[in-house]
Structure 1
C-alpha cells in the first residue's frame, strides 16, 4: 500500500507547476483525474521537445509532469461539461486549479460553489500573484516570477547581469508548495471534518524562498551582489576550473580548512592564523580564491577531487546532464526509471525521490493519452452509460 492510496484528486491544472505537484502525489498512490480540453488537451502536449516512436511523436515536456494520471476531456465552456466537473468534485478529496483569478467563479466552479456540494473538498488555487493584492489580475510565467521574486538578481557572475537558472525554478518550487498545501489541508480536514480553500501565489512562493538572502538583508541591511558560484557568507564555497578545463565545486567549513590546505599543498594559507576561521576567510576572500584557483588550475579534476575526497573535504565535480544520468550513485539509487508508452515503447523517467519504510514506494506510471480514461471515469464515478457518454460527445461537452 502506498501512502496516498484511496485519495482522489480532480486536477484542472495545466502546464507545469500544478501538474508537477499532482504527478508527485499520483506516484505516491493518489488517483489523479486530469481534466483536459477536448481536441487539444493541456497545452504542453504541443510543447517541444518531442520524442519519436513507432506510434508517433509525444511531448517530452508533457510526459515529464503528467505521469500516472487518468485523462478525461471535458469542455468547461459547455454547461453539461461544467455539470460533470461539479459531479466529479462532489466525490473528490482535492481539486487543483490554476486558472486566472476569477475565471472559475464565472463558471460556477469556484470554491464557494463546490464546497456547497462537497463540504469536505480541499480546493487549491494556484495563480501567478494570488487571489488578492494589486497584482492579482496579472499574468506571468516562470521567468517573470524569478525576476520579480529576486532569484534572478542573485544569479549571475560578478559584475555581470542577472541570469535565470537552467531549470524553471519558480514553476517547480511552486509545484512543491502546492503538494505541501494539499497534504497540509488534508491533515486539517482529518481533524475538523471540513475541507477548505488554499490560495497559492507563485510570486509569494518565490519571495518565501529568499530565506538566507533575506536574512542577510534583515541582519546587515545588505542587498546581496551576484557572486557566480561563490557563497556570500562562506569561503571557500565555489566552483574552480581545473587543469583539464573541467570544474570542481568545493564547500568547506572551519573543520575542513586544514585538510583542504594539506590536500592542495596550500602551506602558506594553512600557516596563516587569520584564515583559520570562516570570518577571516570571508574578509580575505580574494586572497583565498586566488590561491585556491591557482592550485586547482594545476591539477586535473579527477586528481583534485580524489585528494579532497580522501581528506574528507566536501567537494564534487560539476557534472553535465548526461554525466548525472549515468552516474553510478544515481543509478544505484534508482533515480533513472522508465515506463512503457503505447506510442513510444520503453521511455526513461525521473521517479519521485522518496523511499518509504512501512508503505509501498512511489511507482512510476505512464502519462495518459488525451482523453484515454474519459469513458471509464464517467462510467465508474458518475454511473453514466455508453449512450449518455455518446450523447455528451455529440453535444460538445466532452
Structure 2
C-alpha cells in the first residue's frame, strides 16, 4: 500500500468491514503463513458484554507502569483506526500500518484465490496486523480484547493466556451469540484455556456457574468479583474517583479518572488480572506504580466530559440495555437531580427500544440523528419510539447539524446510543479529521 489512506480503503472495502465470518480456520492459516507471531509473547485475553475495553485499557496502563513493554489490541476505535493497535499507549504509525499490510498482502491473495469462504475478514486481517506489530516491537506482554463473543472470535486463535478475563455477560448481539445470558456466557467462556487463570466480574449465580464449570473443565483456577476480590467506592467526582481494593493485596484510596461506579469495578478486575499476570512475569505489583497507572489511564468515549462553548458535552456509547442502565446511574451520580438533552442514534442490531426506555428517565429533550454507519436505523423510526417517553423529541438526519441543534437547547448534552456516533461527535469536538465511523 502506497499511502495510509489507500491501506484504510483496502481494509474497509476489499476486506468488508462489519461482515462477520465464523470459525478460526482463516485466522489460523493466515497467522501460520506469517510464522505465528502471536506465539512470541504472553497474552492477557479479555471478553465481556460491557467493560472489556475499560478493563483492557486499565490493565495495559498497569503493565506499562511496571516497565513492561505492553501491546494493546482493541475494537472498535473511537478516534482513529490506529487506536486499535497500541504499544505503551502509543498508536501504531500510519507507515507501520502500510508496511505490515503490504507484507501480508501476498498471504491474503493466496487465501482469497481459494474462494470467499477462505478470504480473511476485516477483523481477521487487523488481528493479524496487530499480532505481527507486537512481535516486531518485542512486546513483553499483550492485552488482547475480544471483538465479538469469544469462542469463534479471531482473537481466540491463541493457544494459551496469562489470564482469561470475562468482565460481564448481558444481552447484546443476540442474533449471533444467543438469546439468553446463559448462551452468551457459553460463547464468552470459550476463551478459557487449559490451566490458565480466569478472572470475572460476573455476580449472577447462574452465569457464574457457566464460567466456573468451563474453568474447572480446563483445570483453570477462577476468581470472581465480590467473592475473591472487591472494590469499595469512597468518593466520586468527575475525573477523580476514589476506591479501596481488596484481593491478594489490599490498597486504600486508589484514584482513577474514569467516571462511574462501574469503573471502580473494572479497575478491580484489572488489578486482580494484573496481580496474577505480574506474579508470573515479575515479582508482583508495586503500589506506587499501580497508583500512577490508575491516575493516568485514558479510555475515550466512556462518560467522557467535554466543554463546548461553555456547555458540557458527555460522551458514552451505552449501546445495550445493561450499558444504558449503567449510564443512567452514572448521570444520576455526577449530575444529581438534572435531566439532560440527549443526542441519540442507534444501529439496527441493538435493542434500542429498551435503551430508550431506560434513558428516558434522565432525558429532558432528545435530538435523534442517523449514526454515520451503514447499519444505522433511520432516525425518524427511533424518534417515534422516543416520543412514547419524552415530550420534546426531534430528528435531524446529519449528526453534526443534530449536535449543534442539541447544543442550542441545553447547557448539558449527553451523546449516546452508539459508539460510532460517539466517535464522530468526539472527532468534531477535538478537530480530528479521520472519520472513525468509516475508518
Regarding TM over 0.5, the answer is no
Q: TM-score with structure 1 length normalisation? A: 0.28
**CA radius of gyration, larger in:** 1
Q: TM-score with structure 2 length normalisation? A: 0.26
